Amino acid sequence: MTDLTHQVEEVAHLIADAKRVLVFTGAGVSTESGIPDFRGTDGIWQKYDPEDFTIQKFLSDKQVRKVQWQLLSTGDLSMSKIQPNPTHFAITELENMGKLYGVVTQNVDGLHQKAGVSREKVFQLHGDLSHAVCLGCGHRYPMDMVAEWLNQGMEDPACYLCMGMLKPDAVLFGEQLPIKVLMESERRSRKCDVCVVLGSTLSVYPACLIPQYAAQAGASLVIINMGPTELDHLAHIRIEGKAGDITTKIIRRVKARLEDEHD
């Protein structure tokens, strides 16, 4: 048995025996769907100035809003044609098995929901670029709908219900993380049996505290990532590799274990 096979078997054993599996996903999961890493060498912030993505500029400068809506509707930040990858579907399988306690994600692509994970089990710490939100009444609009309005000539989209200003439903620089999402993520991290980290270096605060809380509360911490992370020293099992490849193998073994238990 190879080291990887042994590690996969260990993780499958942990998940099969667990009642509450919390999954934490980072940019490495999104990049497997073709989404560029914001902070990488070829990332978004190498092409655009982060200073143009502050909440202050968005609210005060119509030209900044116009550029952002173009990027979100048809440009580099458009999520409409991006599809879930094997990692997303593996997490959906966890929910189908009754094991998934929640998905806490740093990603803003909405792909966990697109892959079939229940919306109420997805906690997007940095928001969701697949939707826009009204700053007046809070109504959310699919970004595809906003893109249609832009294609029809609307430069500064407004809410159809209250005519309030729309903004991407993601956390812009200068905005606080959604407090309810953060609090519920922390609560679940302290109650899970197993926390599986996928595709994150765990270097962005406060998001990286979620797996740390889980480990401190006694959960088994599994880290699957390309390259080292800030919490490798706390990991019960640490696997080097692409999330999609590894999670597919793990889910296959979890299913086999559960089927053996039912026979």
- Catalytic residue numbers? 126
Three-class SS state of 218:
coil
Complete DSSP assignment for 26-44: -HHHHHTTTPPPSSSTTSH
DSSP character for 175?
A: P
Closest CA to 260 of 8, 16, 3: 16
As a dihedral over the C-alpha atoms of residue 209, residue 211, residue 216, residue 219, rounded to 10 degrees, the angle is: 160
The single-letter DSSP state of residue 112 is H
Tokens of 156: 């500064």
Q: What are phi and psi of 114, to 5 degrees?
A: -65, -30
What strands, in cross-sheet order, belong to the sheet with 140-142?
140-142, 127-134, 166-170
Give CA–CA dist 69/74, Å, rounded. 8
CA distance 134 to 140: 6
Q: Which two tokens stand for residue 45?
A: 């912030």
Is the CB of residue 52 less than 8 Å from the CB of residue 69?
no
Instruction: State the sign of the Cα–Cα–Cα–Cα dihedral 168, 31, 85, 251.
Output: negative
Strands (E), the chain: 21-25, 100-105, 122-124, 127-134, 140-142, 166-170, 194-198, 220-225, 237-240
